[in-house]
A and B are shown apart, each in its own frame.
Chain A
Amino acid sequence: AQSVAQPEDQVNVAEGNPLTVKCTYSVSGNPYLFWYVQYPNRGLQFLLKYITGDNLVKGSYGFEAEFNKSQTSFHLKKPSALVSDSALYFCAVRDMTGANNLFFGTGTRLTVIP
Chain B
Amino acid sequence: DVKVTQSSRYLVKRTGEKVFLECVQDMDHENMFWYRQDPGLGLRLIYFSYDVKMKEKGDIPEGYSVSREKKERFSLILESASTNQTSMYLCASSRGHQGNEKLFFGSGTQLSVL
Question: Are A and B part of the same complex?
Answer: yes
Minimal beta-carbon separation of B106 from chain A (angstroms): 5
Chain A residues with CB under 8 A of B67: none
Interface residue ranges of B94-114 to A (CB < 8 Å):
97, 99-100, 102-108
Contact A43 B42 (CB under 8 A): no
Contact B99 A44 (CB under 8 A): no
Q: Given A43-B108, A101-B48, A101-B58, are A106 and B42 also a contact pair (CB < 8 Å)?
A: yes
Contact B102 A46 (CB under 8 A): yes
Chain A residues with CB under 8 A of B97: 100
Interface residue ranges of B1-55 to A (CB < 8 Å):
4, 31, 33, 35, 40-45, 48, 50
Closest A-chain residue to B90, C-beta based?
A43
Contact B100 A51 (CB under 8 A): yes
Contact B105 A45 (CB under 8 A): yes
Chain A residues with CB under 8 A of B43: 44, 90, 92, 104
Contact B58 A44 (CB under 8 A): no
Chain B residues with CB under 8 A of A106: 40-42
Interface residue ranges of A34-73 to B (CB < 8 Å):
34, 36, 41-46, 49, 51
Chain B residues with CB under 8 A of A94: 99-100
Contact B48 A43 (CB under 8 A): no
Chain B residues with CB under 8 A of A100: 31, 48, 50, 97, 99
Give complex CA distance A35, B40 in Å: 17
Give complex CA distance A99, B31 in Å: 13
CB < 8 Å neighbour of B102 from A49, A90, A96: A49
The listed residue with most B CB atoms (<10 A of its CB), out of A44, A92, A106, is A44
Give complex CA distance A34, B104 in Å: 13
Minimal beta-carbon separation of B90 from chain A (angstroms): 6
16 contacts between A and B (CB under 8 A): A32-B99, A36-B103, A43-B92, A43-B106, A43-B107, A44-B92, A45-B105, A46-B104, A96-B99, A96-B100, A99-B56, A100-B31, A100-B97, A101-B45, A101-B48, A106-B42
